[in-house]
Structure 1
Amino acid sequence: MPLIILALFIGLPLIELYFLIQVGGEIGALPTIALSILTAIIGTWLVRLQGFGLLLRVRDMMDRGEVPALEVMDGALILAAGLFLLLPGFMTDALGFLLLVPPLRRWVVARFVRVAPASRYPGQGPDRGPRVIEGDYRRED
């Protein structure tokens, strides 16, 4: 495992640098830099928009007394997308934009949690409404 992490820390920046040089050779250095800054700005705006939407969903779930566990994982993926989009490079930008696609995030969360991909998202799956437990009781004094 440490060798894989080391390979990622060394290999990923080298691959990013290679792609930046190739794109810079085709369109020029300044347009490449401008494109990298533009993707960071657009990515930051999208992360902010989706983050506020997630915050409203979490708040709604907390008001209903539900635990927003899957939404917290969704938020972690949105945070990772934001970090990838802020890093210079086209591969990290592509990965960041992919993580901003809600169905793909649901699939990633489902792979880690082992639940149906849409079971805990609003309006989908068996948990559409509040849970009701019916029963009888009697009071003994």
Structure 2
Amino acid sequence: MWILIAILAIPVIEIALFVQFGSEIGVIGTLAWVFLSGALGLVLMRLEPYRNAESVRAALARDASPASPMAHSALRMIGALLLLLPGFFTDGLGLLLLLPPVRALILQRLVLNARAAPSMRPARDDVIDGDYERQPDVQQNTQHLPPRQKRD
């Protein structure tokens, strides 16, 4: 439900911010901001795979888990994508995701929520108790099978 509200609210927030900032910095300033933030987002998206590979390689060289560098990389990529979208609100969120302390806080909250969430595994109350007996393999009745053809 909250995703639907966010999808509907973000364009309204963007329009309000365009009107507010557009009256302050003008049309040229607003367009320059949109194009420059889009270009910055595009550059960051293109450079992120190289940065990710280097940070994962460094983590593996230290015998550390590559999960944290990969999670930081995913959040940086989301930040770059938000910069690529036109709008002041999405640019602000994208710039926040590029800050390491903000990413660390988000990842910490995600890990705490994942640990606190109830298990997604179903309860094991469907176990059927029974006995079984292993029987030797039965020879196939080869009378009903067509003869094998020899391959040359």
Contact 1:82 1:96 in 2 (8 A): yes
> Which one-letter code corresponds to 1:7 in the other structure?
I
Superposition deviation, residue 47 in structure 1:
5.1
Which residue is 2:59 aligned to?
A: 61
Contact 1:43 1:97 in 2 (8 A): no
- C-alpha separation between the residues in 2 aligned to 1:105 and 1:48? 20
- C-alpha separation between the residues in 1 aligned to 2:101 and 2:50? 18
Contact 1:16 1:91 in 2 (8 A): yes
Query: Which segments of 5 or more consecutive residues in structure 2 lack a partner in the other structure?
Result: 113-152
Segments of 4+ in structure 1 off by > 4 A? 46-51, 63-66
Contact 1:81 1:95 in 2 (8 A): yes
The root-mean-square deviation of aligned C-alpha atoms, in Å, is 2.2
- C-alpha separation between the residues in 2 aligned to 1:87 and 1:33? 13
Q: TM-score, normalised by structure 2?
A: 0.63
Aligned length: 112
Which residue is 1:124 aligned to?
A: none
- 1:61-101 CA distance string (max 9 Å, x none): 33555431112211110111011101111111111011101
Which residue is 2:78 aligned to?
A: 80
Contact 2:45 2:81 in 1 (8 A): no
- C-alpha separation between the residues in 1 aligned to 2:106 and 2:77? 14
Which residue is 1:126 aligned to?
A: none
| Structure label with greater radius of gyration | 2
Paired residue for 1:8, among 3, 6, 11? 6
Contact 1:47 1:100 in 2 (8 A): no
Report percent identity of matched pairs.
38
> Which one-letter code corresponds to 2:88 in the other structure?
F
Superposition deviation, residue 15 in structure 1:
0.7
- C-alpha separation between the residues in 2 aligned to 1:103 and 1:26? 31
Paired residue for 1:91, among 89, 103, 121? 89
Q: Which moved more, 1:38-47 or 1:13-22?
A: 38-47
Query: Which segments of 5 or more consecutive residues in structure 1 lack a partner in the other structure?
Result: 115-141
